[in-house]
Amino acid sequence: MINKNLKYFFSILCLVVLFSCKKDTDGIKEIEAFIKKNNIEAVKDDSGLYYQIIKPGTGSAKITASSTITIKYEGKLLNGKVFDNGGGVERSFILRQLIQGWQIGVPKIQKGGEIRLLVPPSLGYGDTSAGDIPANSPLDFTIKLINVQ
């Protein structure tokens, strides 16, 4: 009887240890720690995206998935490593062709605005790596919205 109870106890203990070691694949805890460490005044969207409007911009354009946006941007991992900056020049994209985090975040500003997006993996590249971006990486983007069409 004691042996059976001991096996049961160790089985439960193994399960507890296994589940407590689960990786933060949604990236939220990592983003929240990053925000706290860097004193960023970010807002959490219902989607899980964190954003900081640096400059709201002007106008009243309705930015939709089919809008063409012209931007300057920089994308970094939370460790500060820049993985893309668009070559430092203005780039144009159709919003629906970009990651979901951008589709949610960019419409929060207007022409001339600037926003910082802290994107959890589920709104970025998910569990796949993309170039210098490892799988399940939270991303840090600064985006200047030059124009909207």
The verdict on residue 11 lying in a domain is no
Residue 71, pLDDT above cutoff 80? yes
Q: Find the domain containing 83 and state its range.
A: 24-148
Q: How big is the CA angle at 26 (ends 127 and 143), to the nearest 5 degrees?
A: 85
Q: Which residues contact 106 (CB under 8 A, 6 or more apart)?
A: 63, 69, 71, 95, 98, 115, 143, 145
For residue 130, give the amino acid letter. A
User: Residue 37 is part of a domain; what is its CATH number?
Assistant: 3.10.50.40
Which residue is it, tokens 């790596």? 129
**Terminus-to-terminus CA distance in the chain, angstroms?**
74
Residue 12, pLDDT above cutoff 50? no
The verdict on residue 54 lying in a domain is yes
pLDDT of residue 3: 55
The verdict on residue 53 lying in a domain is yes
The number of distinct structural domains making up the chain is 1
Q: Using one digit for the tens of pLDDT, what is the confidence trace for 92-127? A: 999 999 999 999 999 999 999 999 999 999 999 999
Name the pTM for this structure.
0.83
The verdict on residue 131 lying in a domain is yes
The verdict on residue 93 lying in a domain is yes
pLDDT of residue 18: 38
**What does the block give as tokens for 104?**
């949610």
Distance CA 132, CA 119 (A): 16
Distance CA 104, CA 91 (A): 19
Q: What does the CA dihedral 51, 119, 62, 72 come to, rounded to 10 degrees?
A: 90
The verdict on residue 2 lying in a domain is no
The verdict on residue 17 lying in a domain is no
The verdict on residue 116 lying in a domain is yes
